[in-house]
Amino acid sequence: MKRQNDAKISKEHQTKKALNKIKSLLKSGKRPSARKIWHNTHFRRPATLRLAKAPKYARSSVEKNKGLDRYQILKYPLTAGEGVLKLIEEQNTIIFLTDLHASKKQIKKAFEKMYDTKVELVRTQIRSTGDKKAFIKIPKEIEAVELATKIGIC
């Protein structure tokens, strides 16, 4: 009987001691450690606080160019050769060298803004030199010869 009482007293003493330790930890601002019980075999990294980036200085000194403007799209008209004049007169088509990355829609918009005319059709061809050539067809109401003289082709 004495042994049982001693065992009870020692358990009570241990629990009081543990509680006192926890209280002292809480007073000092720490939490008592406890082991986490894992219920599955896969470890999932816990979600933590992710702050927005606030760099001390800009990593690039100049901002990147967002796109092409009309002066970058249309480089210059092709003037050399008899075939060019023949296309202007017979097919109402003007040939321009353009930026390699420009699309047909961009070429059309750039030409319409620069020369205040409508465009019927744009065909493109990439030359063996790596340049892009655009064949810009103008409607029959507007004469390409007049437009070409305005641009300075002929």
Length in residues, the chain: 154
For the question of whether the overall pTM of this predicted structure is more than 0.75, the answer is: no
pLDDT (tens digit per residue) in 106-132: 999 999 999 999 999 999 999 999 999
Mean pLDDT of 145-149: 90
Pick the CATH number of 70-151 from 1.10.260.40, 3.40.50.300, 3.30.70.330, 3.40.50.960: 3.30.70.330
**Residues 141-154: what's their mean pLDDT?**
87
Cα–Cα nearest to 110, from 83, 77, 88, 140: 77
Domain residue ranges of the chain, discontinuous segments joined by +: 70-151
Mean pLDDT, range 85-91, rounded to an integer? 90
pLDDT of residue 118: 94
Helix 104-115 × helix 144-151 angle, to 10°: 80
Type of residue numbered 37: I
